[in-house]
Amino acid sequence: MMPGRVMVLLVCLGAVLSAVGIYGPFVDFAGAGASVPLLGFGHVLFDGVKEAVKEHGFLGLFMGGLKASAVGISAAVIFGYLASVIFKPKMPK
């Protein structure tokens, strides 16, 4: 399997495990060890969508995941940019 497909599979598996009710207690037990990997990203997306649907109805399907994961995605972009400024990456030849 290609790496992109594996990543999508892990995010979807995290969302499904969260929907079934398995991943939430695991995150409570393991903390950052369970919330940082790709399975944790799927869990965050599902929880955000679930809360937004309760609050906004059908429209929450589209805005919940983005609202819940915005901080993590923003941090990844900002720290990736800072790392590229500090370490001056070179393109492979």
The pLDDT tens digits of the residues spanning 7-19 come to: 999 999 999 999 9
The average pLDDT across 84-89 equals 84
pLDDT given at position 31: 84
pLDDT given at position 9: 94
Domain ranges of the chain: 3-87
What's the helix, strand, coil split of the chain in %, to 5? Answer: 85, 0, 15
The pLDDT tens digits of the residues spanning 38-78 come to: 888 899 899 999 999 999 999 888 888 888 888 888 888 89
Q: Cβ neighbours of residue 42 under 8 Å, at least 6 residues apart?
A: 10, 11, 12, 13, 14, 15, 16, 17, 18
76/27 Cα distance (integer angstroms): 21
